[in-house]
Amino acid sequence: MEILRIFSLFVMGFISFSIIGIMSGWLDRKITARLQWRVGPPWWQNFADFIKLTGKETVIPEGANQFLFLLAPVVGVFAVTVTGAILLSSVFFNPIRWDLFIFIYLLMIPSVVIFLAGSSSGNVLASIGAGRELRLLLSYELPFIIALLVPVIKSGSAQIQQILVYQLENGANIGYVSGTIAFIVALLAFQGKLGYVPFDVSEAETEIAAGTFIEYSGFPLALFKLMRWILLSVGISFLVIYFMAGFRNAVAGALKYVGILILIVLIKNTNPRLRTDQILKFSWGWLTMFGFVAVIFALMGY
Amino acid sequence: MALDLKTKALKKSLSVFHLSTGSCNNCDIEILDCLTPRFDIERFGMTLAGSIKHADVLLVTGIVTVKNLSRIKVLYQQMPKPGFVVAIGGCACTGGIFRDGYQMAGPLDRVIPVDVYIPGCPPKPEAMIAGIVKLLEKIK
Ligand code: SF4
């Protein structure tokens, strides 16, 4: 029974989060296009992209580590799907008591996988991208974890479910000063996790030609795209549950989700790409400082 | 059926890799015009790819110079199939005004197979879109 339950959770997490993620990816492209006074792609565009990539030839470069090269995207999709399944199971269907720490670990895996992909493809630009990805991971992870501490301090528990229950009783975390600051810090760090502008150094298209993904084609590339989409939807849902009292009301929940998505797209479209050292300075300086400020506010009860 | 779906998806989401092999840069600017709000080819799912491995279409502008000859061949081999080649501008189609130049290594179709020719010096963005429509008709 237990196996069956885990399996069904996994499948459900995969289907729901990939579809929501693909649609979010489309919304991202559409909003970007509208901001630039363009019309933008139709709603099925990302589905078409995915299907197209599955039908293309997979080229494996000569100097690459074949095993890692092909393993990386599979592990990536698996990791984000597990994150989604855990998120589902910690909120719906007689919740399991998952701790916050498992999310911190699992949300780190996509970056590690991208690093693996870059370093195994045997391309100079890809390895530059891989190095940058690791530096990026080191810089945003610190403020991200500090920001996630705030709800833990407020509710006195590191269990996702407890944090949610606390919010339903005492109002959303984002309603407090500490919660607002922590949310902004976490959102900016999440932008880095997604690899969106201004933190897209690892795959800068115009600079190192898609960086870590440069050698990927066909089905592995499709898997990487899928990983990105699922990460987008899982991450935003996580933020909604963690800071905004979750999806209890379906309409309000959807609005919260789309609101965060629009914020991310706006940040993406109004900022230039930062250099690696600027990112490090920004996240270990400003973001971490604001994270600590939020923690202090939370300890004082604001 | 499954194959059919993939071809349909391919038609709706062409990724384009842009290669300039010694053009005067005017064709390249006209290609970029296709992405601007006025023409916006992302409506039809076409995007510029940063790497040839992500691309379905190789756009070539300019004459094939002696120096670039081997590189074009390598790029064509690296493009994941099914992939298509589009020659943009008089230079890539025939050699244009540079056909007697000392750097000329033959028009593009003597080096790699070309699917669609879009002549003009430079061709208008409308002409390029018309050419891509021809390419879409060719994909079966
Ligand atoms: S076709 Fe004309 S515009 Fe295009 S590269 Fe050649 S000379 Fe320049």
Domain count, chain A: 1
Query: Which ligand 1 atom sits closest to the C-alpha of B121?
Result: 2
Q: What is the pLDDT of residue B2?
A: 59
Q: Which residues of chain B have pLDDT under 50?
A: none
Ligand 1 atom 3 nearest Cα: B122
Whole-Å CA distances, B53 to A22, A55, B42: 22, 14, 19
Q: What is the pLDDT of residue A62?
A: 80
Res. A23 pLDDT band, cuts 50 70 90: very high
Residue B13 to residue A56, Cβ atoms within 8 A: no
Residue A159 has what DSSP assignment? B
Domain count, chain B: 1
Q: Are A160 and A238 in contact (CB under 8 A)?
A: no
Tell me the two tokens of residue A196.
Answer: 């969106």
Quickly list DSSP for B80-98: PSS-EEEEEHHHHHH-GGG
Chain B residues closer than 8 Å to A216 by CB: 53-54
Question: Biggest alpha carbon distance in chain A?
Answer: 58
Q: What is the pLDDT of residue A26?
A: 92
Cα–chain center distance at A176 = 24
CATH classification at residue B133: 3.40.50.12280
In one-letter notation, the amino acid at residue A243 is: F
Residue A274 has what DSSP assignment? P
Q: Which residue of B has its CA nearest to A58?
A: B80
Whole-Å CA distances, A89 to A71, A84, A160, A238: 27, 9, 10, 12
- Residue A33 C-alpha to ligand 1 middle, in angstroms? 30
Tell me the two tokens of residue A236.
Answer: 């935003």
Q: Residue A120's closest CA among A57, A204, A213, A205?
A: A213
Q: What is the rounded average pLDDT of the residues A244-253?
A: 79
| CA A26, A28, A31, A32 torsion-angle sign | negative
Q: What is the pLDDT of residue B136?
A: 86
Q: What is the pLDDT of residue B1?
A: 54
Q: What is the pLDDT of residue A95?
A: 66
Q: Is the peptide bond before B123 cis (omega within 30 degrees of 0)?
A: no
Res. A196 pLDDT band, cuts 50 70 90: confident
- Best of A32, A121, A217, A225 to disrupt the B interface (most B CBs within 10 Å) is A217
In sequence order, what are the residues at sequence separation of 6 or more whose Cβ sits closer than 8 angstroms to the Cβ of residue A281?
A: none
Task: Report the alpha-carbon distance of residue A191 to residue A184 in Å, rounded.
Answer: 11
Q: What is the rounded average pLDDT of the residues A85-114?
A: 82
- Residue B55 C-alpha to ligand 1 middle, in angstroms? 23
Closest approach of chain B CAs to the CA of A57, in angstroms? 5
Q: What is the pLDDT of residue B3?
A: 64
> Model pTM?
0.89
pLDDT above 70: residue A93 = no
User: Which pLDDT tens digit goes with each residue over A46-59?
Assistant: 888 888 888 888 88
User: Which pLDDT tens digit goes with each residue over A116-166?
Assistant: 888 888 788 888 888 888 888 888 888 999 988 888 888 888 888 888 888
Q: Which residues line ligand 1 (CB under 6 A)?
A: B 23-24, 26-27, 61-62, 89-91, 96-97, 121-122
Res. A24 pLDDT band, cuts 50 70 90: very high
More confident residue, A41 or A169: A41
Closest approach of chain B CAs to the CA of A213, in angstroms? 9
Residue A123 has what DSSP assignment? -
Mean per-residue pLDDT of chain A: 85
Beta bridge partners of A72: none
Res. A262 pLDDT band, cuts 50 70 90: very high
SS3 A245: coil
Task: Report the alpha-carbon distance of residue B91 to residue B24 in Å, rounded.
Answer: 9
In sequence order, what are the residues at sequence separation of 6 or more whose Cβ sits closer than 8 angstroms to the Cβ of residue A108?
A: A137, A141
Instruction: Find the domain containing B40 and state its range.
Output: 2-139
Chain B residues closer than 8 Å to A217 by CB: 53-54, 80
Calculate what percentage of chain A has a pLDDT beyond 70. Answer: 97
pLDDT above 80: residue A94 = no
Q: Are A242 and A163 in contact (CB under 8 A)?
A: yes
Instruction: Find the domain containing A62 and state its range.
Output: 2-300
